């Protein structure tokens, strides 16, 4: 349960919330909120949010004592001790949750844990935190308020920007750079070698040393066990504000524009370039050396095998069906171009058989 | 080879196996079995199993001295020094293999390795094992006979149930709970932040702090490098007996019912609910906020994009073909709805052209 | 940037390059090359390569002072201070890059870091390197010039061959064997349990202890966060020269023939056998217990659901389209076998309606 995890509750008055985050207050400005809860499970002292007026049914059953409501639900506000009306309750919730998270955060003590192994040639800002069993190599730079979690590895000459947090067991290899306020989740590997081989005369792979780096902007979040490979000669580049979910593979020399988001299990092949403000659905595969324009949405599990030049929503995924139906349709699909030819033959037959005459006796 | 790995062999007599696990014994009850081996490679002193009578051909060539046979193969039993007849040889093998594994297990010494970093505010049962370079934070609870492998991280207030084993380099983040007798393989990350953002006025992501936890039942197995995210507000929940393979992504607020199994590379999106006794094939993607009923089987690489309300076997995957054929069929597929319209036009044409008259000259 | 990462530049003369690696030299044999750069970004003192004459446009704009050119571009050589003509510039580049990588490699000091935990029963060759916070268990064998990176885990009786490098935080579990000159990237897990369960009378999974190992040949490269499971009874086997990208899942008892390559996010199910010199595209899923012949190429994101007996290029992936078009086509696809029946009915109708008579009034 979140309570256990979050520790002793510290409250906020609804009035001070609205003073800081905006919105229209209805009800008691002195009402004390202990924490945020989902509208399904909220109880006394908890604030919930309703993302959209279409979900207003929940207002009948919720036990929340205060709520964040879409602006068009003003009439419902009076049911609660306090309500905040705002055009975008989800965004409001995000900001309020960040505030609570700060309130409840464990205080951190800057410095290097006794069990960490930090090379004497590494550069640590005074406010940096290095967790237990972390390893920081020579020439690495850890900026102020950066947090290197337990068991992380930061290689030679890597740079970790101000306020960036590496959760436990993240690996950042030599020469890679993370900007400010990034969050990297456990198990992520940044800067492993790209997958590059020439083939020799006998067909065996000859490794191409990967001597580029990885360059990650500010406010980037990288999911658990995600991998971002270093470039072959130039750098792999991730723009400001990019959000990458878990178990995503970013190959060498990929470029991702600012504020794009990649859901879980996406694979991006080498040298692909993804624009800004894109959303790549879960499990999507993106082939190498192609370009995706800004503001492109790719539906889950699609394969992007050629460049997408125009903004829009694209999909390519086999529709789910009962195995029996799928099996019949899939069998037919294997002869689809033949079926098209048969249709054309039928059309030709009907055209050439003087069909217009048919209606004239 | 298993011998090296398993250490000195210790035997079981076939008689004592049948006494403990059941089955009909044929042959010499005193016959000594040193270990289990595959029917292809078994030799003297080894017992093999034949899962189904359709594979009986292997009985001609195997060098195993004893076998576990389907009950309908009684006639074949006499070829071996000893044979055990049972309705489900595979299940019998599983149980016998567990017995051998216990016999051969390295004895473990309870206690904390000198190199581990265990906070003084953590609660360790006397029989818990904490391996080298493991980190256990304040408030964490490690129950009796739990094993925290080398280099694991167990965060604040996390709970590891009795007899649960974390293999090396597992991460369990703050406040997550694992039940009893679970097995978590190396590199798994339990309780990383869910992938949740609101969008601000400029389209940039605003992180939603993920304050729920992960709650895992008893007898759950979690594969290597699999990730299970913590809930946004409520918990992500994995039921008793669930088995999850490697490199699976379970997003925030997912619920999985008891005894379901997810094969490798599956991705489950946020707030999806999977029933009990389901089998999700490898590489399947499950979209967010949908429900899958109990006893559903999803074929490998399918995308589940809407709820599946009835038990059964469902599939959605493009059939493999030569690239040449695939290329022609895929091209036609892009005009499939057009093709259907052309067929309808043909049908209409034939219907309206007074075709019945055609046979009357 | 690569410079920072690579440290102080050390040069090679073009003449000595050609003496060692072959190729036809044009221009000044004394010309000094400091490093390799991409043709887009190369500057003075840098050598670039042009993989194919179709890309010759780059020769107009590059600032490289020397180049590796396809043999048919001899006429372009004179633009540069030095040029090397060779039938396969990409292979030449690979070999030259390896040479530079050796020149620039940090010297390594053999021995065990003070923070590593090496069991007294492990066997370490004098030239082995054991990094900080690494754990090596009893009976493990680390051969000469092998490098065990920071935070790696090498289990009981595992064998790491000569010159093999485990990057930080690799896990090699008990009894697994790696050959010589292998490279394993961070987060890879070799030898976790295969996903094997029998079902008991109530449908609950009964774990099958996985007592086989993993046997990896020479010159194998394994990507970041890739998982290779140990066999159930026999071993999982990876042939010489196999290259595996990031986030790939290799299930128990899989066999992969020499010199095959698997791109990122591939999943190979249990007991599948992949031949030699295959190329498996990114995100491909391979079902269990099937065989893929030598010299097979599988296109990205395909599902291989039955054996592929002949060399060739195979694909199965839904073509990407706008969501609107996809949606219409996918809806029709669900009735595809019906559409085929309708076409057959039309054909029958036209055949049986004495259509030849139509042209005879």
Q: Are residues B279 and B299 in the same domain?
A: yes
Tell which of A163, A301, A346 to mutate to test the B interface (max B CBs under 10 Å): A301
Q: Is C198 in the B-facing interface, judged by CB distances under 8 Å?
A: yes
Check residue A351 and give its pLDDT: 78
Reported confidence tier of residue A104, pLDDT bands at 50, 70, 90: confident
Considering the domain architecture, whether residues A267 and A327 belong to the same structural domain is answered as no
pLDDT at C360 over 80: no
Looking at the fold, whether C100 and C154 belong to one and the same domain comes out as: no
Whether the CB of A105 is below 8 Å from some CB of chain B: the reply is no
Q: Is B1 on the interface with C (CB under 8 A)?
A: yes
pLDDT in tens, C258-299: 999 999 999 999 999 999 999 999 999 999 999 999 999 999
Write out pLDDT tens, residues A289-327.
999 999 999 999 999 999 999 999 999 999 999 999 999
Chains touching C (at least 3 CB pairs under 8 A) are A, B
Assess whether pLDDT exceeds 90 at residue A97.
Answer: yes
The closest of A185, B122, C289 to C274, measured between CA atoms, is C289
What is the domain range of residue C242?
Answer: 111-314
Name the residue in chain A with its Cα closest to that of C183. A193
Q: How far is CA C253 from CA B71, C211, C233, in A?
A: 27, 11, 8
CA distance C206 to chain A (A): 27
pLDDT at C228 over 70: yes
Pairing of strands C82-86, C221-222: unpaired
Pair C190, C51 in one domain: no
Query: Does C100 map to a domain?
Result: yes
Q: Which residues contact B102 (CB under 8 A, 6 or more apart)?
A: none
Q: State the CATH number of the domain containing residue A37.
A: 3.40.1390.10
Does residue C344 belong to any structural domain of this protein? yes
Read off the pLDDT band of C107 (50, 70, 90). confident
pLDDT value of residue B219: 98
pLDDT at residue A108, as a whole number:
83
On the question of pLDDT at A3 being above 60, the answer is no
Q: What are B191-242's pLDDT values in tens digits? A: 999 999 999 999 999 999 999 999 999 999 999 999 999 999 999 999 999 9
Q: Of A147, A252, A289, A313, which is the active-site residue?
A: A252
C117·B150 Cβ contact <8 A: yes
From C71, C104, C137, give the residue that closes a domain: C104
Point out the least confidently predicted range of B75-79, B278-282, C299-303.
Answer: B75-79
Q: Are the beta carbons of C339 and B335 separated by less than 8 Å?
A: no
Sign of the Cα pseudo-torsion (B54, B59, B62, B64, in order): positive
Q: How confident is residue B271, by pLDDT bands cut at 50, 70 and 90?
A: very high
C319 in a domain, yes or no? no
Average pLDDT over residues C150-165: 98
- Residue the block writes with tokens 């009962």: A322
The number of C-alpha atoms within 13 Å of A30 and in the hemisphere containing its C-beta is 0
For residues C225-248, average pLDDT:
98
**Candidates B115, B320, B337; nearest CB to C316:** B320
CA distance A134 to C323: 46
- Angle at CA of residue B230, ends B224 and B234, nearest 5°: 145
With b for 16 or more beta-carbon neighbours within 10 A and e for fewer, the A251-276 pattern comes to bbbbbbbbbbbbbbbbbbbbbbbbbb
Compute the distance between CA of residue C172 and CA of residue B131 in angstroms, rounded to an integer: 16
Q: What is the pLDDT of residue B351?
A: 78
Question: Do A186 and A249 belong to one domain?
Answer: yes
pLDDT tens digit sequence for C194-218: 999 999 999 999 999 999 999 999 9
Q: Following DSSP, what letter does each residue of B48-68 receive, concatenated?
A: EE-S-GGGTTHHHH---SEEE
pLDDT of residue C263: 98
- B328, B300: one domain: no
Active site residue C5: no
Residue B288 maps to which CATH number? 2.160.10.10
Sign of CA dihedral C297, C303, C309, C314: negative
Residues B212 and B137 placed together within one structural domain of the fold: yes
Helix (H) or strand (E) holding A344: helix A336-352
Tell whether A356 is within 8 A of chain C (Cβ).
no
Residue C4 has pLDDT above 60, yes or no: no
Chain B residues within an 8 Å CB radius of A21: none
- Binned at pLDDT 50, 70 and 90, residue C230 comes out as very high
C323 domain-assigned:
no
Asked if residue C320 belongs to a domain, the reply is no
As a whole number of angstroms, the distance between CA B251 and CA B182 comes to: 20
A83 and A154 within one domain? no
What average pLDDT does this structure show over C247-256? Answer: 98
The total domain count for chain C is 3
Task: Name the nearest CA neighbour of C348 among B346, A145, B145.
Answer: B346
Q: Which of A264, A338, A352 to mutate to test the interface with B (most CBs of B within 10 A)?
A: A264
- Residues in chain B closer than 8 A to C335 (CB atoms): 340
Q: What is the pLDDT of residue B202?
A: 94
pLDDT band per the 50, 70, 90 thresholds, residue A182: very high
Give the pLDDT score at B282. Answer: 98
Interhelix angle A336-352/B336-352, rounded to 10 degrees, is 30
ipTM, 2 dp:
0.94
Q: What is the pLDDT of residues C311-359, one digit of tens each?
A: 999 999 999 999 999 999 999 999 999 999 999 999 998 876 544 444 4
Same domain, A331 and A224: no
Q: Which of B173, B346, B354 sits opposite A350 (nearest CB)?
A: B346
Q: Is the pLDDT of residue A125 over 80?
A: yes
Nearest to C234 among B38, B88, B326 (CB): B38
Percent of chain A with pLDDT over 90: 91
Please state the rounded mean pLDDT for residues A169-189: 98
Please state, for a pLDDT cut of 70, what percent of chain B lies above it: 94
- C339: chain A residues, CB-CB within 8 Å: 332, 339
Whether residues A158 and A288 fall in one domain: yes
Query: Inter-chain contact C157–B322, Cβ cutoff 8 Å?
Result: no
Among A59, A80, A104, the domain boundary falls at A104
Give the pair of three-digit tokens for residue C327: 């949606």
Q: What is the pLDDT of residues B311-340, one digit of tens each?
A: 999 999 999 999 999 999 999 999 999 999
How does the average pLDDT of chain A come out, rounded? 94
CB of B322 within 8 Å of any CB in chain C?
yes
Which chain C residues have a beta carbon less than 8 Å from that of B187? 171, 187, 189, 225, 227
User: Do C81 and C147 belong to one domain?
Assistant: no
Domain final residue, candidates C104, C119, C134: C104
DSSP B310: S
Whether residue B355 has pLDDT greater than 90: no
> Which residue of B9, B189, B340 is the best one to mutate when testing the C interface, meaning the one whose CB has the most C CBs within 10 A?
B340
What pLDDT is attached to residue B352? 67
Q: Closest residue of A to C46, CA-based? A: A233
Residue B15's nearest CA partner among B33, B36, B29, B27 is B29
Is the pLDDT at B8 greater than 50? The verdict is no
What pLDDT, on the 0 to 100 scale, is given for residue A353?
Answer: 58
Q: Is residue C131 part of a domain?
A: yes
Residue A74's pLDDT is 94
Task: Name the residue among C151, C227, C342 with its Cβ closest to that of B224.
Answer: C227
Nearest CB to C187: which of B187, B264, B318? B187
Angle formed at CA B50 by CA B45 and CA B55, multiple of 5 degrees: 130
pLDDT digits over A227-241, tens only?
A: 999 999 999 999 999
The size of the A-C interface in CB pairs under 8 A is: 262
Looking at the complex, report in whole angstroms how far the Cα of residue C38 sits from the nearest Cα belonging to chain B: 32
Q: At what angle do helices B336-352 and C336-352 cross, to 10 degrees?
A: 30
Give yes or no: residues A286 and A140 share one domain.
Answer: yes
């Amino acid at each position: 349960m979140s309570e256990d995890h979050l520790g002793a509750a510290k409250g906020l008055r609804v009035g001070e919330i609205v003073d800081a985050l905006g919105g229209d207050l209805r009800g008691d400005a002195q009402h004390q909120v202990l924490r945020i809860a989902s509208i399904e499970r909220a109880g006394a002292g908890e604030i919930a949010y309703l993302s959209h007026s279409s979900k207003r049914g929940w207002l009948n059953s919720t036990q929340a004592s205060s709520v964040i409501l879409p602006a068009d639900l003003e009439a419902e506000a009076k049911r609660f001790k306090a309500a905040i009306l705002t055009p975008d309750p989800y965004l409001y919730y995000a900001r309020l949750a960040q505030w609570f998270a700060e309130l409840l955060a464990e205080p951190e003590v800057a410095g290097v844990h006794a069990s960490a192994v930090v090379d004497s040639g590494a550069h640590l800002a005074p406010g940096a935190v290095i967790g237990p069993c972390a390893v920081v190599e020579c020439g690495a730079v850890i900026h102020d308020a950066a947090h290197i979690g337990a068991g992380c590895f930061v290689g030679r000459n890597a740079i970790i920007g101000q306020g960036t947090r590496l959760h436990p067991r993240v690996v950042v290899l030599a020469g890679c750079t993370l900007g400010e306020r990034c969050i990297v989740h456990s198990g992520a590997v940044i800067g492993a070698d790209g997958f590059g081989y020439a083939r020799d005369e006998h067909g065996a792979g000859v490794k191409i040393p990967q001597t580029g780096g990885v360059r990650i902007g500010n406010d980037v979040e990288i999911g658990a066990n995600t991998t971002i490979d270093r470039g072959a000669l130039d750098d792999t580049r991730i723009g400001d504000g990019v959000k990458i979910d878990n178990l995503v593979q970013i190959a060498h020399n990929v470029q991702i524009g600012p504020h794009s988001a990649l859901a879980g299990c996406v694979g991006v092949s080498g040298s692909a370039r993804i624009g800004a403000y894109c959303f790549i659905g879960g499990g999507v595969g993106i082939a190498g050396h192609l370009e995706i324009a800004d503001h492109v949405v790719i539906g889950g599990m699609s394969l992007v095998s050629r460049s997408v030049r125009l903004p829009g929503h694209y999909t390519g995924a086999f529709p789910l069906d009962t195995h029996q139906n799928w099996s019949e349709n899939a069998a037919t699909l294997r002869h689809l171009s033949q079926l098209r030819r048969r249709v054309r033959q039928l059309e030709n037959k009907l055209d050439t058989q003087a069909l217009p005459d048919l209606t004239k006796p």
